[in-house]
Structure 1
Amino acid sequence: MPSAPEDVTATGAIRNRFDRMEVAGAFGDLGTLIPFVIAYLGVLKMDPLGVLLSFGIAMIACGVHYRTPIPVQPMKAVGAIAATQAAQSITLTSAMVHGASLVTGVIWLLLGLTGAARRVASLVKRPIVMGIVLGLGFGFMIEGARMMASNWWVGGAALLGTALLMSNRVVPAMLVLLVAGAIYGLLSDATLWSALQAVRPQLRWPELALSSISLDDLLMGAVFLALPQVPLTLGNAIIAITEENNRLFPQRRVNEGQMAVSTGLMNLLSGGLGGVPMCHGAGGMAGHVRFGARTGGAVVILGVVLIVTALFFSGSVGTLLRLFPTSILGVILFLTGAQLALGGCDISRDKGERFVTVVTAALAVWNVGIAFVVGVAAYALAKRGLLRL
């Protein structure tokens, strides 16, 4: 059980903490956050002010409300599609990404408020959920290994050292990893130190993006970005995160309807401020918890860091991100995946249900949306005795 007794009030509610372990756990999701932020800023030339400010506000709201490390992440399918299509000169723009956020917000807010999200989730049985969680964990580990491959000596040494520090409650493993990564980044990039010396705080206020979004932007964002993400969001950001939170924090349970509503609200916020589509994710929670987070304080801390960066250092974000080498981010992602996969190892003794879990997990490494559909179909066939195993 990750929550220590002192984290619980007399009424049984979890209190947010802001100690060194929460600070360390706050950065446990950087392996997914930073690569997608870089893609949005580098390929689509989006304003980092709106992107980081939206994430920061959403994180603080989730940390204060849920009081567990409920993460706020970029929607992965949307990010991948946007970056790829832009690289292929297809006319996807920042305004279309903002439009996709607004459409996504409306979709999930309606699904949450009407109860449709919970009804759909109730049809997804535990073997399917375990398969999604297990597959996501393996997917994170594979991607982490690929990122570490950019410099195996550094990545391997960082992985071993971080793993040895994982159980140490005095020296937070994440803080050691980030400091070591920053030092390596400075030593391996001769221009980084001089670039950091030129960084100066400069206050910028956000501008509403609504005036720049046309009807065409909404339609293109919906068709090419928002709708392809829906099955992935349902599997990972609604069903899997609910399972992960309730397994780790039974004192502070959530349901699929709550996850759908908060997904809707934070995407409406993001679309209005010039941000990107966001979601919750079981992998993000696993990352926060793996590196020490036990309350929503970790998410609040990361949110404050992002808001300060957005308002005062948005013009220097590219330089600041260079402090975190790809191999170090790969270590974070690999260990996050391991934590998540461990949560998906509660496999049924029934052979048919085990088959459903294994098939769903294998497909979830590739595409969670397809894994979700195939898992539901396989479960139905197994229960009707139509699968000969």
Structure 2
Amino acid sequence: MDGDITDNRHHPDFEFNLRELAGSMGDFGTLFPLAVSYIAINGMNPAGLFIMLGLTNIALGLIYRLPMPLQPKKIVAITAITQKWSPDLIYASGLGLGLLWILLTVSGLLRWLVRITPDYIVRGIQLALGITLAWQALQWMRPEPLLGLVAVVIVLLLRSNRYAPASVVLMVLGVIILAWRGNLPEHWDLRLTLPVIAVPRWEDVWKTMLLAGFAQIPLSISNAIIAPAALIRDYFPKKSVSEEKLMLNMGVMNVFSSILGGMPMCHGAGGLAGQYYFGARTGGAPIMEGVIEILIGLFLSGSIAALMAAFPMPLIAGMMLLVGIQLARTARNLRGWELALALATAALSIVTNIGIGFLGGLVAAHLLKAVRRRGTEDGGRGTGDGKRGTEDRGRGTDDGSSTTIH
């Protein structure tokens, strides 16, 4: 089934099959690089990171009964990695943002923001995300373009294959390449590892909010709340999810994740588009992904970071390229000034970041709306004045006629 068409077939709440497993891998391009960097550069405990990813995925699958991807919060992740934060600071940022999301939901501020955000601005954000994903995919293909091309061909040929789904084939191919290049470990580090429980310090929470948390707010509201909710309405019109529910759950999961050693997490329109594109249709996809992540965290935390770092990224890039193109197409039905504002929002998002693009597009949309309303009102007053002038001229003729009669 084409990824850009709403799947109107009836699906149960949960299916556990190859298609759902393949779909759960559709967002690996947004998950792999930052998760590996958190472990390799910041020294995060892989057990806590993967176990919390897994538990959260299972919870989301049970709550929403839909594919509901998780990915690292990008501004926080990029800041933490480039500044080499300690794991304690990363956990603190998750706690601070989690509490903030809960506050925005219960205060009603999120509902107000959703109400004043036009759909075409959301489409502009999705367009920017699609272009960004596709561009990043092309960069990852550059070292081995032939391998990237092979991945694209496999996706196009096997994406809807029931017995050999594209993403599963690509993961198996990646493991084969790892073995051929000698990147598989000779001795697997198999031992039970549990996450460490630690409550972040409040001074660290405030510090990380100043360094990256406040900058993360508009990006998460646009890309992790408003855009995914719109995409869910497109893909699953009978199972729409409110923005308030998305944000409240995002807040709760970050609070618990920060205490149990997880990274700051959010939803994402790109991840949802990726999972849907590769076949995920039910809550079975995140549940299966979650079980795999928990097993990795419990028993493979000593080996997984090196494996993920060595995985041939052109294979992931081939998946990302087509997902990016698919996501960008959500703006194709816009016309006129709505299309112009969506394009402007996308352009600003690409040259700055999604959060700034969202705020800029929102301001521009309401300024244009005010100008158009003012023009309509002025036109109405001008028409009214013309009518009054005609009436006055009519009254003058009547007066003149009366004088003549008298």
Tell me the TM-score normalised to structure 2 length.
0.87
Pair 1:373-2:389 in alignment: no
Pair 1:72-2:76 in alignment: no
Q: Which residue is equivalent to 2:308?
A: 321
Pair 1:142-2:135 in alignment: yes
What amino acid is the match of 1:175? V
Counterpart pick for 1:220 among 188, 202, 207: 207
Counterpart pick for 1:36 among 31, 34, 37: 34
- Over the matched positions of the two proteins, sequence identity in percent amounts to 35
Within 5 Å, give how 1:118-129 maps onto structure 2. Answer: 118-129=111-122
Q: Which residue is equivalent to 1:346?
A: 333
Q: Give the count of matched residue pairs.
A: 369
Measure the CA separation in 2 of the matches of 1:108 and 1:260. 6
Within 5 Å, give how 1:18-97 maps onto structure 2. Answer: 18-86=16-84, 92-97=85-90
User: Which is worse superposed, 294-303 or 219-228?
Assistant: 219-228
Shift of 1:246: 1.1
Within 5 Å, give how 1:170-319 maps onto structure 2. Answer: 170-187=163-180, 189-190=181-182, 192-193=183-184, 195=185, 197-210=186-199, 213-319=200-306
Q: Which residue is equivalent to 2:402?
A: none
> SS state of the match for residue 371, structure 1?
helix
Q: How large is the RMSD of aligned CA atoms in angstroms?
A: 1.8
2:160 and 2:278 in contact (8 A); partners too: no
What amino acid is the match of 2:305? G
1:118 and 1:255 in contact (8 A); partners too: no
Measure the CA separation in 1 of the matches of 2:6 and 2:367. 37
Change (3 A) 1:352 1:3: closer
Counterpart pick for 2:146 among 147, 153, 160: 153
Shift of 1:27: 0.8
> SS state of the match for residue 202, structure 1?
coil
Change (3 A) 1:110 1:246: same
2:45 and 2:195 in contact (8 A); partners too: no
- Alignment deviations for residues 207-246 of structure 1 (CA, whole Å, 9 cap, x no partner): 2121xx3333122121112211111001100100000011
What amino acid is the match of 2:219? L
What amino acid is the match of 2:134? M
Structure with higher Rg: it is 2
1:112 and 1:259 in contact (8 A); partners too: no
Counterpart pick for 1:355 among 311, 335, 340: 340
Shift of 1:185: 2.5
Shift of 1:346: 2.8
- Alignment deviations for residues 178-225 of structure 1 (CA, whole Å, 9 cap, x no partner): 1112212222x22x23x1x31142112222121xx3333122121112
Tell me the TM-score normalised to structure 1 length.
0.91
